[in-house]
Amino acid sequence: YQMQGLLLFSDMQMGKLTCAVCLGIYTDPVVLECKHSFCRACIEEFWSGAAPGTYSCPECRAETSERPGLEKNFKLASIVQKYLALQSSRGAGVLCSYCTQIGLLAVKSCLKCEASMCPRHLRHHTQSAVFRSHLLIDPTADVSLWKCSEHQELLRIYCKDDRVCICSLCALIGKHKNHNCGSISEGEKEEKQNMQVGALAAADVEH
């Protein structure tokens, strides 16, 4: 079962379990005559927005004048089911806040919305001008950890003096006022560099 899990994970990494239309894990996958597969809802929505009497494959653009029959891809559906079961049994990853019924894994968490998103919902989120200023981070099960315990504001700033993430109020009027600060991404780079330096130093001591 462990080897099977590794193979399924490899397929996921290669995009074999991901629909080319919604970029999420397949839901009720169907296969076209050209052998490309899509979520049933995705291909039906794709065709509904095309010119009347034109039915093409979103991936290879093969066209037909008659609406093709949608044959369920039972093999792919079985692999997806096993993959999701494996993830559930391991308790691995953070689930998408919006895909509650099918339990898709999240790829990003939004600190402003306090929600985690799969590739499909993340695409809608990033394409909207309303959400463009929202701060996205790697998936986290508890978004509240990214809020300042004192001011309840988002931790958007990295204090280089104390090597901690702080909110804007901490930097303006709090105990980190007048400290050397930067962005969260700058802080991540600095911490990674510090870890690398520490690892090299430890290696020198061992030798």
Which pLDDT does position 168 carry in this prediction? Answer: 92
Q: What is the mean pLDDT of residues 169-198?
A: 83
In a domain, residue 85? The reply is no
Which pLDDT does position 171 carry in this prediction? Answer: 94
Q: Are residues 56 and 119 in the same domain?
A: no
Q: Are residues 154 and 138 in the same domain?
A: no
Q: Are residues 37 and 62 in the same domain?
A: yes
In a domain, residue 35? The reply is yes
Q: What is the pLDDT of residues 96-128, one digit of tens each?
A: 888 866 667 888 888 888 888 888 888 888 888
Which pLDDT does position 3 carry in this prediction? Answer: 36
69, containing H or E segment: none
Residue 195 in this model has a pLDDT that exceeds 80: no
Q: What is the pLDDT of residues 122-162, one digit of tens each?
A: 888 888 888 888 888 878 777 777 788 888 888 888 899 98
For residue 57, the domain's CATH number is 3.30.40.10
pTM: 0.43
Q: Are residues 10 and 67 in the same domain?
A: yes
Q: Are residues 63 and 112 in the same domain?
A: no
- 14-20 LR contacts (CB < 8 Å, sep 24+): 16/79, 17/76, 17/79, 17/80, 17/83, 18/119, 20/58, 20/59
In a domain, residue 152? The reply is yes
Q: Which domain holds residue 48?
A: 4-77
